[in-house]
Amino acid sequence: MLKGRLYISRLVYNLAVGFGLFLLFIFFLEGNRLYKLQREEQNKALFEKSATIFSEKIGTFIHGLQGIGGLYHIKNFEVTPNEIHDYAIFRNNFINFKGALGYGFIRVVKEKEIPAYLKQQKKFYPDFHIKKMGNLETTDLYIVETIEPISTNSSAIGLVMNSEAGRKKAAIDSIESGHAMLTSKIHLVQNVNNESGFIYLLPIYETVTVPEKIADRVKKIKGWAFCPITLSSLIGPLTNLTDNLFSYELYDITNPSHVDLLYKNKKILLSTKAYQSEVIIGGRTFLLKGESVVKGLLILDILTIIFFLLSGFLYTFLLYKLRFFLNSRHVIEERVSIAENWNRAVIDSSTFSIISTLPNGIITTFNYQAEVMLGYKSEELVGLKTPQILHVEEEVISRAQELSKELGLIVTPGFEVFTLKAKLRGQDSNLWTYVKKDGSTIPIKLNVSCIKGANNEILGYLGLAEDISYQIELNQKIENQKIQLVHNAKMISLGEMAGGVAHEINTPLTVILNKTRKQLQNLKSTSVDHNKLIEDLEKIDMTVLKIAKIINGLKTFSRNSEMDSMVEANLENIVSDTLEFCKEIFKFKNVNLKISGSLNYKIKCRPAQISQVFLNLFNNSLDAIENLESKWIEIKCEKNYEHIILSFTDSGNGIEKNIVDKLMEPFFTTKEVGKGTGLGLSISLGIIKEHGGDFYFDETSQHTRFIVKFPDHGLN
């Protein structure tokens, strides 16, 4: 009986222990399952942030490229290496855009312009020469003109980008699309570590805005702002962010038939969970794959279960594993927290305002620079508002109308206005006005890109905004100085003819004085010849009208006409009015003036500016021929199917070849000190270019001849 009771007692005990161990084991398995699910969600979120940072890292370089493009536009594409160097230091390029080996400019050089271009560049780089990178033959060359810092990039100067297929394709794609483009993976010549990378190319056109038609883009391309980027500078932020929690593989899948593996850091893993995300930027599609590394946790298998049921010692082992599991969980949570804090620190340290949103527009990120720029705290907007609250309503409505017309869609004034083009093309860049919390406004340049998930679904949008107040102020100062410079040059040209103008007025004044005195004497006498009196008064009236015409011409010429609208004007009248300032000094210096062909053509112009060009040419001719035995100036006009062409020829023997190349440069003059500013021809060139025409020295003439071409707008 006792033996039976002991048996039953042991049986009950063993069953209780077994049941308890079984329950403990089930609890552990469930806890392990929940942990794995949570870990997978955390890793997925961390991986998606990695893809976002990769996209943001490339996106930041576009602002440096836009700055270089702006400088070339402001300087009318005549920028010296020293100016690029000073701009790079002022813009703080090497801190603001870490990862780029430098920033520079690639110029399109026509085949016929190559000798002159090489001669010009040797002034800055004495050993400058063209270096082809491949065997592609081409007429026009895409030449690396300059890049900063030059100390580490000198090997790139003079490279012909379109002599190698990969670089040529990216350049042409950027011209046709109007957007910045990345090359495929290439070898960077200036990288001493023989590392691969990319070149980011932003097309720069003659116009500030991108031409609407592809044909116009090809025609008006001037070159590219560019920066070489090392592959390691793009991968580095990913590995730093995740602290080796992921094994990465990066592919370029732009061409599905030629997938290029860019980076791989495969590790030995205990267990993995794979993720992937496509990033579309710079005309290329990248596939980022990641496998999360599960450290220190072994998943139980059937042998462990059998061992647990057969051995009481497994209880202690399970307790140990449970404790390890909990500790491991805290470590992972801490690492995720560190990664999130680091990500936030990176975003807050940016010099740009960074705002990210969900697909419906609700703000999810509002960095420190955005708080400083707009006066809001992040907690006032994150999760509550859309970026539309930061914009001027009239601009949003206007942009919606522009997009509707451009895309042939009905675009309503709302959040879609900021994201539609980014959704269609991967990114969009526009000028906007931000409204600060206090109601004041600030001009910005906003770049919007899509944030995409592993399945190419849109997770949200990222907006990087740059305050362009200083750039606008600087551009306005430059424009004002340009206007003042043109006006001063006009006054100098008029001053050079001042003697002739004074004589032109003094002569009729003398006539008026003599006629008046004579008739006063007649009126004082008893006999008055009324016919003679009427004749003299009519002569005085005609003389006064002549003086009035000269004075009105002076008033029209001397006023600042920079902001005048284009009007229809008769070319013959403009030439005639200009000659009013010159004909007396021509007579005084025995200069014979000839006019060949009819000048009776209408052009669309600002007459005062065209008169300034003509007066400058008359002044130059007068200075050049005044000591010659034969002194003449000929104006000839002819018309072809698309231009009205004026030639100004004088009896001079032409201009030396080494001087011709410098004629149109600002401040270049062959006149003696105090007699010329060196601005006349360069300003004249600018005026005619603004009128859509052309202005150049005719090297084929045996005499000194300048050609002025006006477009025929169908007015004749």
pLDDT (tens digit, 9 = 90+) per residue, 76-126? 999 998 888 888 888 776 677 777 888 899 999 998 999 999 999 999 889
Q: How many angstroms separate the CA atoms of 278 and 274, rounded? A: 14
Higher per-residue confidence, 361 vs 343: 361
| List of long-range contacts for 556-563, beta carbons under 8 Å, 24+ apart | 556/607, 556/608, 556/611, 557/490, 557/494, 557/581, 557/608, 557/611, 557/612, 557/615, 558/490, 558/491, 558/494, 559/608, 560/483, 560/487, 561/606, 561/607, 561/608, 561/609, 562/483, 562/486, 562/487, 562/609
Residue 303's pLDDT is 44
Higher per-residue confidence, 348 vs 149: 149
The stretch 157-178 carries a mean pLDDT of 90
Q: How many residues comprise the chain?
A: 716
Higher per-residue confidence, 498 vs 400: 400
Higher per-residue confidence, 336 vs 656: 656
**pLDDT bucket at 506, cuts 50 / 70 / 90:** low
Residue 21's pLDDT is 62
Residue 636's pLDDT is 92
The stretch 176-198 carries a mean pLDDT of 84
Determine if the peptide bond prior to 149 is cis (ω within 30°). Answer: yes
Residue 645's pLDDT is 92
Q: Does position 149 have pLDDT exceeding 60, yes or no?
A: yes
**pLDDT bucket at 268, cuts 50 / 70 / 90:** very low
Residue 5's pLDDT is 45
Residue 536's pLDDT is 66
- State the DSSP H helix or E strand holding residue 275, giving kind and residue range, or none if neither: strand 272-281
Q: Which of 36-40, 200-204, 484-488 has the lowest mean pLDDT?
A: 484-488
664 secondary structure, DSSP code: T
Q: Does position 487 have pLDDT exceeding 80, yes or no?
A: no
Higher per-residue confidence, 440 vs 505: 440
Higher per-residue confidence, 420 vs 25: 420
**pLDDT bucket at 693, cuts 50 / 70 / 90:** very high
Residue 212's pLDDT is 92
**pLDDT bucket at 214, cuts 50 / 70 / 90:** very high
The stretch 525-543 carries a mean pLDDT of 67
* Residues 35, 40, 46, 50, Cα dihedral to 10°: 160
Strand partners, 376: none
Tell the residue number behind the tokens 């271009």, with chain if given: 117
pLDDT in tens, 439-458: 888 888 888 888 888 888 88
Q: Averaging pLDDT over each range in 35-49, 276-290, 327-341, which range is the top one?
A: 276-290
Q: Averaging pLDDT over each range in 307-321, 376-390, 504-518, which range is the top one?
A: 376-390
The stretch 293-305 carries a mean pLDDT of 45
pLDDT in tens, 326-350: 556 666 666 666 666 666 666 666 6
**pLDDT bucket at 147, cuts 50 / 70 / 90:** very high
**pLDDT bucket at 367, cuts 50 / 70 / 90:** confident
The stretch 197-225 carries a mean pLDDT of 93
The stretch 587-591 carries a mean pLDDT of 86
